[in-house]
Amino acid sequence: MAGCNAQAETITWQTGHCYLGEILVASTQSGVCAVLPGGSRDELVTELARRFPNATLEHANNSRADWFAGVMNYLVDSRRPLAVQLDLRGTEFQCRVWRALQEIPSGSSTSYGEIAQRMGIPTASRAIAGACAANSLAVVVPCHRVLRGDGSLSGYRWGIKRKQALLSHEQGLSER
Residues 105 and 72 in one domain: no
What angle, 0 to 180 degrees and rounded to 10, lies between the N-to-C axes of helices 92-101 and 125-134? 90
Domain end (from 48, 76, 104): 76
Q: What is the pLDDT of residue 143?
A: 93
CATH of the domain at 27: 3.30.160.70
Residue 5, domain member (yes or no): no
53 plus 123 within the same structural domain: no
Type and span of the H or E element at 166? helix 160-174
Of these residues, 18, 33, 95, 143, which one is catalytic? 143
The Cα diameter of the chain in Å comes to 45
Is 143 noted as a catalytic residue in this protein?
yes
Query: Rounded to an integer, what distance in angstroms lies between the CA atom of residue 16 and that of residue 21?
Result: 8
Residues 107 and 160 in one domain: yes
Nearest to 126 by CA among 106, 141, 137, 112: 112
pTM as predicted? 0.89
> What is the rounded CA–CA span in Å between residue 158 and residue 104?
19
Q: What share of the chain has pLDDT > 70, as a percent?
A: 95
Domain shared by 102 and 168, yes or no: yes
Q: Domain tally for the chain?
A: 2
- 105: in domain: yes
96 and 163 in a single domain? The answer is yes
* Domain span holding position 113: 92-174
Residues 62, 103 within the same domain: no
pLDDT digits (tens, 9 = 90+) for 30-73: 999 999 999 999 999 999 999 999 999 999 977 678 999 999 99
- CA distance linking residue 112 with residue 127, whole number of Å: 9
* H/E run at residue 35: strand 31-38
Residues 116, 155: one domain? yes
